[in-house]
Chain A
Amino acid sequence: MRLLVSDLTHRYDDLTVLDGIDLTLAEGEILAVIGPSGCGKSTLLGIAGGIVAPSSGSIRVEGEVPDGCLNPITFIFQDFALLPWRSVEDNVGLVLEHHPLSAAERRERIDSGLRRMGLWEFRQALPKQLSGGMRQRVGIARALAVRPAMLLLDEPLSALDAQTRELLMDDFLELWRREKTTALYVTHNLDEALRLADRVCVLSRRPGRIRELVTIEEPRERRQEPSAQAHLAEVRDRLWHLMKAEAQMADREIARA
């Protein structure tokens, strides 16, 4: 599925958070969105997912919904959004409960998600019994259970420690290698963007405008190799240069306010 954002603006009362965003997300593409705090990254994601109505502009989703997809556009949240009274498998099954699936298919979707995320042994556990990384894996398994066409990821690794972040980045790469799911990935971490995205969209400080769209030429599966490091370092410098200027100006504006 493709996402087409055209002249998108969003305001909270008098505060404009996004201004004139034009963006196209191709089928199977992973676009990372970075920018200083408060630049409207999460708002953009909320609008793309239909949980926030934009003040003006349009957002369209095009393309066929794949077979078996129950929720074409699916979120993965920063704080996992697990229901603490439900076991791991019931959290994964939550998103299937209102769909007219046979018991066998429901079971198969839950089990498949749990196995893929390495949660099978923990299926009866409550979220409070799991580590942060495991909880996010439950969030991912829940998203996979509906076989989404597009994933909207809102800083999915920012609440986790460095080791767990590395492991989950590998999980995401494996997921995208197999599924070719389109993804809009909001992060403030340049390393995540460089490791996972095809393109990186740099937003300016508030009101968020697109400063630049940077393409990472190196294929995702080769980015850990030594030969890729020179190109990635170059992209990183460019992104950091863009980000740094915006973040410094945002800080000055906050200090003045």
Chain B
Amino acid sequence: MSDMTTNSHRTSLRNAADWMLVAIALPALAAFMLPLGARDGAPVGWLGGTMAPLFLSGVLLTVVAGRAAPKRVWGAWVELAGVALAWLLPLYLMKEGLDLSAGWGLWLFLVAATLLLWRVMGVLSGVPGWTRAVIVPGLFGLGLLVGWEVLVRGFQVPAILLPPPSRIASALAANAPVLWDDFRQTVLTSVLRGYVMGCGAGFLVAILADRVPFLARGLLPLGNLASAIPVVGIAPIMVMWFGFDWQSKAAVIVVMTFFPMLINTLAGLGNSERIQLDLMRSYAAGYGRTLVKLRLPNALPFLFNGLKINSTLALIGAIVAEFFGTPVVGMGFRISTEVARMNLDIVWATIAVAALTGSGLYGGLALLERVTTAWHPSMRRR
């Protein structure tokens, strides 16, 4: 009773979580009725001589301890340990030589563990600060990787179709010098130059079009046209025009990034309020001063929008352009040649590098945007 009066919020959370526990228990109970896997074609149950009962007991213990914890958040951390233990079970069973594709008991158990993780994430995402901002998304990503690893290995998916993340990580480590050379050629040489040229040109032409209205009227319809140009069509032409080296990749990137930047900059320049413009005029500010002091700062959210869109477009453009001719280095070149050799591990490793690079560029820009446009309503903490 005293608990209810002092902390009704906590009580209601617990009640809500109880229903979730029922949902977790149902697949877990069903899992216990079914075999875990097979050894030499014979099904192996939970009490079939493996250490699976120990794992199961450990998980149950964490759930009970989590329920008994004085604070819901502490309980969530304990339950998280249970989730980790549950997802270690298939790795242990594979090491024991069990064929996991033959029994549904384990997979139903993992469904229950995933529901438990869902419950944990629900609690942790309510904790402000680093927990909500970093740990929850980190756990989400880790959960996806572990799920991918276990499913691919458990169901013995051929590596040529989809390798497990551990194999991709090994390929990354084994081919680090080659991948670094590719990264340097594609990202540091082609993407950065093309990105700066494309975004810079889009920005400057937008300023010009803002000053000369007929330019804007002529260029904006072209923007729609340019956004429909297929990169696989323009890339070989650029290679013919500018050669195999970075210049042709930069040209493709310029084509892809110019109009998004132009359109976003123009939209941003039109974003100042009438009253703010009147203020500048009433203090005798000319075009240049109004641009620098008022319109460009007001346009920052739009400029960052263009820069973020272009960061991923530039990477895609460079990689695709490298399919059509490059010095014997580069991420696109690597993917095209290694696919032909059926050397899929390095292809996936290159894809991982590209994905991390794209995320890094986008994330860096998003961080810079958060710092420089903290005043904007869209940056309010949610």
Interface residues of A (CB under 8 A from B): 46, 49-51, 71, 73-75, 77-79, 81, 83-85, 94-95, 97-98, 126-128, 146
Complex Cα–Cα for A73 and B284 (A): 10
- The interface size of chain B toward A, counting residues with CB under 8 Å, comes to 19
Are A81 and B373 closer than 8 Å at their CB atoms?
Answer: no
Are A75 and B297 also in contact (CB < 8 A) when A85-B375, A95-B283, A128-B375 are?
Answer: no
Q: Which 10 A-B pairs have the closest CB atoms?
A: A81-B279, A85-B375, A84-B375, A75-B282, A81-B275, A51-B281, A95-B283, A85-B297, A79-B275, A77-B275
Complex Cα–Cα for A83 and B279 (A): 10
- CB of A70 to closest CB in B, whole Å: 9
Are B278 and A46 closer than 8 Å at their CB atoms?
Answer: yes
- CB of B268 to closest CB in A, whole Å: 13
- CB of A21 to closest CB in B, whole Å: 20
Are A71 and B375 closer than 8 Å at their CB atoms?
Answer: no
- Asked if B276 is at the interface of the complex by the 8 Å CB criterion, the answer is yes
Residue of A nearest to B278 (CB): A51
Residue of B nearest to A70 (CB): B283
Task: List the count of A-B residue pairs having beta carbons below 8 Å apart.
Answer: 49
Q: Which of A84, A98, A127, A128 is close to B285, meaning CB atoms less than 8 Å apart? A: A98
- CB of A54 to closest CB in B, whole Å: 15
Complex Cα–Cα for A126 and B254 (A): 38
- Asked if B10 is at the interface of the complex by the 8 Å CB criterion, the answer is no
Chain A residues lying within 8 Å of B294, measured Cβ to Cβ, are 83
- CB of B345 to closest CB in A, whole Å: 48
Are B282 and A49 closer than 8 Å at their CB atoms?
Answer: yes
Are A126 and B278 also in contact (CB < 8 A) when A71-B283, A71-B284, A94-B293 are?
Answer: no
Residue of A nearest to B281 (CB): A51
- CB of B196 to closest CB in A, whole Å: 25
Chain A residues lying within 8 Å of B289, measured Cβ to Cβ, are 98
Complex Cα–Cα for A85 and B373 (A): 7
Residue of A nearest to B380 (CB): A128
Question: Can you give 23 A-B contacts (C-beta < 8 A)?
Answer: A50-B282, A51-B278, A74-B283, A75-B278, A75-B282, A77-B278, A77-B279, A78-B275, A79-B273, A79-B275, A81-B273, A83-B293, A83-B294, A83-B297, A84-B376, A85-B297, A85-B300, A85-B376, A97-B293, A98-B289, A126-B375, A127-B375, A128-B375
Complex Cα–Cα for A115 and B279 (A): 23
Are A51 and B282 closer than 8 Å at their CB atoms?
Answer: yes
Complex Cα–Cα for A231 and B373 (A): 53
Complex Cα–Cα for A42 and B273 (A): 16
Are A75 and B375 also in contact (CB < 8 A) when A83-B294, A83-B297 are?
Answer: no
Given contacts A81-B279, A98-B285, 19 further A-B contacts (CB under 8 A): A46-B278, A71-B283, A74-B283, A75-B278, A77-B278, A77-B279, A79-B275, A81-B273, A81-B275, A81-B276, A83-B293, A84-B375, A85-B373, A85-B375, A85-B376, A94-B293, A98-B289, A127-B375, A146-B283
